Amino acid sequence: MLSLTKAKKVVEYELPPIDRAMRLAGFAFAQAASSLAEGTAPLVPMGYVERKAGLRSAERVMVRFIYPSAESIDLALSTSEGRSALMAKLPEYDSSVLVFGGNVRRSVAPSKSDALIVEINDVAFEPRFKVIQYYQPHAAGGFKLLGSPTFLQDEQPLDPVREAELAAHFLDGTRSNSLVEKTWTAWRG
The pTM of this model reads: 0.85
Band (pLDDT 50/70/90 cuts) for residue 108 is: low
In this predicted structure, the answer to whether residue 86 has a pLDDT above a threshold of 50 is yes
Band (pLDDT 50/70/90 cuts) for residue 4 is: very low
**pLDDT score for 57:** 64
Percent of the chain clearing pLDDT 70 (strictly above): 86
Contact (Cβ atoms closer than 8 angstroms) between residue 133 and residue 154: no
What is the rounded average pLDDT of the residues 138-145?
A: 87
Band (pLDDT 50/70/90 cuts) for residue 177 is: confident
Give the Cα separation of 40 and 32 in Å (integer).
Answer: 13
Comparison of pLDDT for 13 and 154, the residue scoring more = 154
What is the rounded average pLDDT of the residues 149-177?
A: 91
**pLDDT score for 182:** 78
pLDDT tens-digit series, residues 123-135: 887 778 999 999 9
In one-letter notation, the amino acid at residue 174 is: T
Give the Cα separation of 5 and 21 in Å (integer).
Answer: 38
pLDDT tens-digit series, residues 7-50: 454 445 576 778 888 999 999 999 999 988 888 778 999 999 98
* Cβ count near 45 (within 10 Å): 27
In this predicted structure, the answer to whether residue 95 has a pLDDT above a threshold of 80 is yes
In this predicted structure, the answer to whether residue 82 has a pLDDT above a threshold of 90 is yes
Coil vs helix vs strand at 174: helix
Give the Cα separation of 126 and 160 in Å (integer).
Answer: 20
In this predicted structure, the answer to whether residue 117 has a pLDDT above a threshold of 70 is yes
Comparison of pLDDT for 182 and 113, the residue scoring more = 113
**pLDDT score for 135:** 92
In this predicted structure, the answer to whether residue 150 has a pLDDT above a threshold of 50 is yes
